[in-house]
Chains A and B, each alone.
Chain A
């Protein structure tokens, strides 16, 4: 019993010593224009230990489908994006910057990437030589996935809104992603918000929502932080 308690205390100590506490900013990056690039700041919040961070860019072939696979960006020329550097060593409290550069020559529609920032820590949480019974240790690491969107050369934001009886259809008919800020319905002289399954609408993506009422719907959306004209469906 005493042995188990001591082991538990030891495990707690180890876990506190090896956790990496980083932060990444900004989490959403838009690259627009021919020669566009930006920087992402990575900060080590730990005041005692270094943070070792690995940066991996992925191309999302179908960003609207979360279950779809993501492909690692290996060839900057072919994949349209370069991230530099691929690894960071951050001293306690230090902030460093990662450069994101668009290498795609011409872009007809959005190219969406996820750049993962994963701190590298010791993976062995518990000793492998515990002779007494069964023991399990799960090390939990927090990483950040930054969304990088390479916008088209000529972005054409366009939304389609349709209501068939109690069914609402919202489709992004443009070539660039839009952010829905509100989708409201007039119910008994009051505007009530319709909860949508997603509010980031990628190019070509469609949302279908069953409505409780068959009253008019108003939709508001943003394109790169700028409001679009509101859409109405009677």
Chain B
């Protein structure tokens, strides 16, 4: 029922006991020394003789280009076999982008029920494993022992903060100030703007008990949401 522990090494490309890049580089130097330099010297001397006549200057330029192309095709078998072949490599970096987030304002009037507020978010991520995953760390400016708090300068009111991996304001993941969440999924991996449909939600809630104990005033807080790939 068990498998042996296996030491894994990355697969690397080698040719004649040399890394392929080094091998290619050495072959290129040899090609330049043995073929290109003598050929260019000869063609340059030959064409200089012709170019004494000014009308031949354009011909010289075109001939040089033609000779170089022929030389390249004859030396490089890839070009000879398929002149349209070209190596194109693109490195796509790991990206995470969050947009569409807004501030939250509340004016609780009914102390019998909790005061809630939410903002929808678009999270784009191309981070692998699994695609569309990310982590969130929410930090309250006036936090105390992991509690989110608003303040009017003298008084503090604590509140609950939540993250949801859908646009719904359901209180799915309870956030603790300064603590990274578990891996979240559901980020878009196709559109930086989520095609206009938000795929996450940040919401807050003040319980009636939390509000009732505080004097009427204007309270504020700043929450920094740091999104990271791991």
Contacts and interface: CB of A to CB of B under 8 A. Distances in A.
A127 B135 CA distance: 33
B214 A134 contact: yes
A118 B224 contact: yes
B211 A134 contact: yes
Given A133-B107, A228-B10, A161 B3 contact: yes
B109 interface: yes
A179 B133 CA distance: 13
Across chains A and B, which 4 residue pairs bring their CB atoms closest together, nearest first? Answer: A199-B129, A26-B93, A145-B228, A228-B8
B38 interface: no
Interface of A, helix, strand, loop or mixed by DSSP? strand
Contacts of B115: 136
Given A137-B105, A179-B128, A63 B3 contact: no
27 contacts: A11-B105, A25-B95, A27-B93, A28-B230, A124-B220, A128-B152, A133-B216, A136-B108, A136-B220, A138-B117, A138-B222, A138-B223, A139-B103, A139-B220, A139-B221, A140-B202, A140-B222, A142-B227, A144-B227, A145-B227, A163-B3, A199-B130, A199-B183, A223-B8, A223-B10, A228-B9, A229-B8
A127 B218 contact: yes
A55 interface: no
B153 A146 contact: no
Nearest to A217: B3
Contacts of B107: 4, 133-136
A26 to B, nearest CB: 3
A121 B211 CA distance: 27
B77 interface: no
Contact of B2 (A140, A156, A162): A162
A151 B57 CA distance: 57
A66 B130 contact: no
B227 A143 contact: yes
Interface stretch (B16-24, B62-70, B79-87, B174-182): B174-182
B58 to A, nearest CB: 43
Given A27-B228, A228-B8, 13 more contacts: A27-B95, A66-B179, A67-B179, A134-B211, A135-B218, A137-B105, A138-B223, A140-B102, A143-B225, A162-B5, A163-B3, A197-B182, A227-B10
Contacts of A159: 5-6, 8
A218 to B, nearest CB: 10
Contacts of A31: none
B53 interface: no
Interface string A8-27: 10010001000101011111
B101 A66 contact: no
B204 A138 contact: yes
B11 interface: yes
Interface residues of A, number: 72
Interface in B1-51: 1-3, 5-12
Contacts of A25: 93, 95
Interface in A88-113: none
A158 interface: yes
A126 B97 CA distance: 27
A90 to B, nearest CB: 16
B71 interface: no
Contacts of B181: 66
A8 B102 CA distance: 14
A200 B2 CA distance: 23
A67 B180 contact: yes
B6 A233 contact: no
A125 to B, nearest CB: 5
